Structure 1
Amino acid sequence: MSQIHLYFDEDALQSALVSALKNSKVDVVTVADAARFSFSDEEQLIWAKEQSRVVYSFNMGDFQNLHHVFIAKGIEHSGIILAPQQRYSIGEQLRGLLKLISQKSAEDMVNQLIFLSAYIKV
């Protein structure tokens, strides 16, 4: 069982969160790191699968739809984690992502759509 590797899309770029995750030994790549700005959400999800990375995004509507389209067409993805934009602090997102990563493997995440709220103590 391997650890989840994250891929932050353009909507979720928060340098403080990315740095905190990297300091916590989480493998994180952003669209900036991968020079993938302006690619469609579908292209981002396909690329993430090729790299065995789970997408983290605030773009809830589009990625929920893509998840359903991929599942209906029998196309695998490496997983999607969604959070509403500006709802959670950097600290809350960090704790939620670390909790999720401690409880799920990369294999568990395949074809899964997870809402970060399930891992954030309210």
Structure 2
Amino acid sequence: MILADENIDHSIIAALRAAGYLVDSLYESHRSLSDAAIIELARHPPRIILTEDKDFGEWVFAHGIRDVSVIFLRYHFRDTAALLATLLELLRTRLPNLHGAFTTVAVQKIRIRPL
């Protein structure tokens, strides 16, 4: 399951759901949570945080937060369709590798860092 941060465009959430992924949107269900609360929410049950917020990188790398999974999206709005294609292919082919990792996804670049 994916936990989509409030900053994730609804079209991305809709496309992920249409592709069969379970996506819990914080915008729809838990607005205004702190990053720390989002991390805790993502732990039980385990979910991958989907975000455009660089602060999650700080939580993981500077504060040493582990036992969390993050997909960090980096793109310009005009590249949404291309990014979505990259994201869907990543989920289709490498989903098991994303658990317990910090993954950065750009239009044509993916970096998976196991935590």
Aligned length in residues: 108
CA 1:15–1:21: 2 relative to 1, 3 Å: same
Please give the residue correspondences for 1:40-119 in structure 2 after superposition, counting only pairs within 5 Å. Answer: 40-60=34-54, 62-68=55-61, 69-71=63-65, 75-77=66-68, 79-84=69-74, 86=76, 89-106=79-96, 108-117=97-106
Q: Which 4+ residue blocks in structure 1 deviate beyond 6 angstroms?
A: none
Task: Indicate the percent of aligned positions where both proteins have the same amino acid.
Answer: 17
Structure number with higher relative contact order (C-alpha < 8 Å, ≥ 6 residues apart)? 1
> Does the CA contact (< 8 Å) of 1:58 and 1:82 recur in 2?
yes
Bigger mean CA offset, 41-50 vs 84-93: 84-93
TM-score, normalising length from structure 2?
0.79
Q: Which amino acid aligns with 2:6?
A: E
Q: Gaps spanning 5+ residues in structure 2: where?
A: 110-115
Deviations 1:62-114 (CA, angstroms, capped at 9, x unpaired): 1111112244xxx411x1111235356331222121111122234x2233111
TM-score, normalising length from structure 1?
0.75
CA 1:6–1:88: 2 relative to 1, 3 Å: farther
Distance 2:60 2:4 in 1: 16
CA RMSD of aligned residues (A): 2.0
